[in-house]
Structure formats: structure tokens, C-alpha cells
Amino acid sequence: MKIAFAADPLSGFNLAKDSTYAMMREAAARGHELHAFRHADMIVSDGRVQANVSRIRLTGQAGSWFQVEETRQCAPSDFDVVVERTDPPFNMEYIYATYLLELAESQGARVVNRPAAIRNHNEKLAITGFPQFTAPTLVTSDAAQVRAFHATHRDIILKPLDGMGGTGIFRVRDDGLNLGAIVETLTADGARTIMVQRFIPEIAHGDRRVLLIGGKVVPYCLARIPQAGEVRGNLAAGGTGVAMPVSEREREIGEALAPVLLERGLLLVGLDVIGHHLTEINVTSPTCFQEIMQQTGFDVAGMFVDALENLQTN
């Protein structure tokens, strides 16, 4: 297969942790041809999507792990599959890129995850479609609504809808200390919509990343355990990643969502689960491949490349 990765600059990859690198390494080991480009490399000329795409070869050397063999302008449809792996922030430039990739789809490209599906699944808001699996949740920009929610649940988490890596997340306990200031800051005095959830005390045991690949649940998850004094388990916020088998509840959630999300065009999804509750549905560039592989021996990247290869036969 000819596989093109729409990704951030390869020179910035952390080879010990990067899931996109794990995908590339597995694909190369199977003899697939690797290519890479950035969102900024795409153009539309005379109605056709083109991109400056580099064919790369993995060298196996940590200091210079890839070599560019050639760079040329071509259409996304020239590849068997385009794998969208650009990291957030999910800003307007990211949205514009999904429009271009969606246009490329109409011109024959196969893109995973599908650009319209990425665009339509805000990673916070997407959980509202599955209320049977979530803790009590409020989405609003109204301070009075937030205060009423706090009065009911007494211990709450507030977060922006466009945050990543645990940024902008606040906990307000029973005393309501600083609730007004936090709401004013997060909503910009009512101009921005936020999410509010009942605090889930099981966060002490980890915010668990459950991966769905090709409509199936990966049998191991990564529990991201907060450091002392934190309520955020995100690795970017200092959490510690511990791989472990998925729980019965996590499998229940994963098996319920996997076929639905696959049907929507989401081949790879990262669910965030705290305790018994679904808290996020990550669709842009879900990670944790290498941490799970390193700690359990389960080949997540192999399962992902299997799913890509299966696209060729379906």
C-alpha cells in the first residue's frame, strides 16, 4: 500500500512515545510505502486538491530516523489511504484542512479518520450522544445554570470545549470557592460555551484511555494517574501512564460505541473513561500506542495497520 500521513513535522516526533511513529514503523516493516505531508502543504488549484508530499524511508537511527527520498506535488487520491494524524489545537486552520481533505475524498481519496467525522465530533461534546455512559453533564455559557448545577452536585469539574492535554480544567468543591471567577474566565463573561460535569472521585485511579480500532476494542488501556494534588490525569499535565487490561465496564462502553463510530467514519478513536463514566471521545490523533505496547507487549500499531489493510479488501 501507498500510505500518506497528514502529520505535524516529523522532526518533532518523540520516538519513544509517538503513536504516529509506531504506525509508520509497523507499516514499513510490512513493506508499505510511506509518505508524509502537513496540512499547510495542501492547496486547491482549479478545483483539485494537491499537496507537496514527501516519500520517506525509516532509517532505524534515533538521531535521523527518517530520510526524504523525494518530494513532489500530487493528489491525495494517488495514495491507497491518507491517515490524518495532525495534533490539535483544533482551530479554524484545522477545520479548513478537513474541508480540503473532504474535497479530496470527493475526488477519490480515502482518508481516515474521515475529515467530516473529525469535524463533527467535538471531543468534549461528542459524549452527549451517549448519556447512558456519562456522569451528570451540563453544557452552557450561562453562569446561573452552572451555579444551579453546582448546588445540585456540590463537587464539579469545569472545562473549555476546545482544550487539550488537560488545559483549562478546574475543580470546584462543596464550598464553591472561586466558582464565579472561574465561570467568568472560562466563558469570557458568557461569550463561550463550556462543559460542567459532576466530579468523579475514581480519577484517583486514573483517567483511562480506551482505544477503538476498526470497530474493535483494544484489550489494554492506559490509565493516566494524576500526580499528587492534581485532578488531571493527562500525561501532558504530569500524569503517570500505567497500562492494564480494560475493565468489564470499559469493554461495555467500547463495544457499544465502536460500531457506531466506525460507521460514522472513525477508524481510530480514543475513549476517556473515569470510573464507570465516559468523559471524552478523542478522534483527531489518539495516542498511547507505544505505552501500551511497551508495558503489555500488545501490538496496538499492528492492530491499526491490520485495519488499514482491511480497507483494501472491503
Q: How far apart are CA 111 and CA 289, in angstroms?
A: 20
Active-site residue flag, 55: no
What is the sign, positive or negative, of the torsion defined by CA atoms of 210, 213, 214, 216? negative
Please tell me which residue in 84, 114, 282, 291 is annotated as part of the active site: 282
Q: Are strands 33-37 and 48-58 parallel, antiparallel or unpaired?
A: antiparallel
Q: Which one, of 232, 312, 229, 244, lies nearest residue 280 by Cα?
A: 232
User: What is the DSSP code (8-state) at residue 172?
Assistant: E
Active-site residue flag, 291: no
Active-site residue flag, 17: no
Please tell me which residue in 124, 198, 207, 208 is annotated as part of the active site: 124
The answer to whether 269 touches 255, Cβ cutoff 8 Å, is no
197 Cβ contact list (under 8 Å, min separation 6): 134, 135, 136, 137, 138, 156, 157, 159, 279
Active-site residue flag, 282: yes
Please tell me which residue in 102, 207, 250, 272 is annotated as part of the active site: 272
Q: Give the distance from CA 206 to its chain's centroid.
A: 18
Query: Please, what's the largest Cα pairwise distance for the chain?
Result: 61
Active-site residue flag, 299: no
Active-site residue flag, 93: no
The answer to whether 225 touches 242, Cβ cutoff 8 Å, is yes
Q: How far apart are CA 9 and CA 127, in angstroms?
A: 31
Residue 187 — left, alpha, or beta (φ > 0 → left; ψ -120 to 50 → alpha)? Answer: alpha
Amino acid at site 259: P
Q: Which one, of 18, 2, 141, lies nearest residue 75 by Cα?
A: 2
Please tell me which residue in 224, 234, 250, 291 is annotated as part of the active site: 224
Please tell me which residue in 159, 198, 207, 250 is annotated as part of the active site: 159
Q: Residues with catalytic annotation?
A: 124, 159, 209, 224, 232, 272, 280, 282
